[in-house]
Amino acid sequence: MSDYALFLGCVIPNRYPGIEAAMRKMAPSLGITLYEMDGASCCPAPGVTRSFDSQTWLTLAARNICIAEALGKNVLTMCNGCYASLKEANAILKNDSAKREAVNKVLSEVGKRFRGDIEVKHIVEVLYNEVGLEKIKSLAKRRLNLKAAVHYGCHILKPSELREWKSHERPTFLDELITALGMESVSYQDKMMCCGAGGGVRSGVPEVGLDMTREKLRNIIRTGVDVIVNCCPLCHLQFDRGQVEIEQNMGEKFRVPILHYIQLLGISAGLTLDEVGAKAHNISLETLASRI
């Protein structure tokens, strides 16, 4: 069994609780025990908070890490942005004594101290490197007859010096996790392009973000896929809610279902669409119902 402190972040509990539900339902089958991070806050968002005030970003991230340290468990997140914030803050504070001292001075006011004795991991990282493809294959009760367009997202891959993937420019790990479920992962133009949401673009200049999302969707639908599979709830939001916003603001209609990988894994293992939170999605998953 692997024990982890579960860090939910903001988007999952507020917008897509089905991702959390799928994680909790699948954890026992994956050999994972989850511990609650009571009192955890926003990670905080790396592309916004860090850009404006890096010291505040670092201190808030450290506070979250301290909660996991108190549990004596490594952090497990299902969000690329949370992964980036917590993993990078953890590395900075472990290696920079001056920054660690400054952060701990602030944390002392709330009875916390960063020790640097845990790691931060992404669920896809754990599935690929620890659970393993053979175990994933064994959980696939349903051989899903689906073509998927994989979207990695930015923060799970970069900065490369803090990510332990074989390739950061042409990764295959998420594609391999898709094919382990009996699905086809298709190639498409500009596969590694940003979804359009990151770095505060979705909030600050939404028309730019939606234009990027539209470009990706156009490239994806040319391949005739059934579903877009991601590993980040903000990317998930941009593709799901973004399709509605593109239709409203740009007049172009897309209807491509979106699934976080842990939701897809849950469906493959026998969970229903309702059990993985289909009703919270803007784009209906019912087109997949007859294929699973």
User: Angle at the Cα of 233 (from 206 to 55), degrees rounded to 5?
Assistant: 75
Report d(CA 100, CA 36) in Å as an integer: 25
Report d(CA 22, CA 186) in Å as an integer: 24
Q: What is the pLDDT of residues 200-235, one digit of tens each?
A: 778 778 888 899 999 999 999 999 999 999 999 999
Band of pLDDT at residue 236, cut at 50, 70 and 90? very high
Q: What is the pLDDT of residues 82-121, one digit of tens each?
A: 999 999 999 999 999 999 999 999 999 999 999 999 999 9
Q: Please enumerate in sequence order all residues whose Cβ is within 8 A of that of 85, keeping only pairs 6 or more positions apart, or say none.
A: 43, 44, 45, 46, 50, 57, 61
Structural domains in the chain plus CATH codes: 2-122 (1.20.1050.140), 133-289 (3.40.50.11810)
- The pLDDT of residue 49 is 84
Residue 189 has pLDDT above 80, yes or no: yes
- The pLDDT of residue 167 is 64
Q: What is the pLDDT of residues 29-52, one digit of tens each?
A: 999 999 999 999 999 988 788 878
CB 169 within 8 A of CB 192: yes
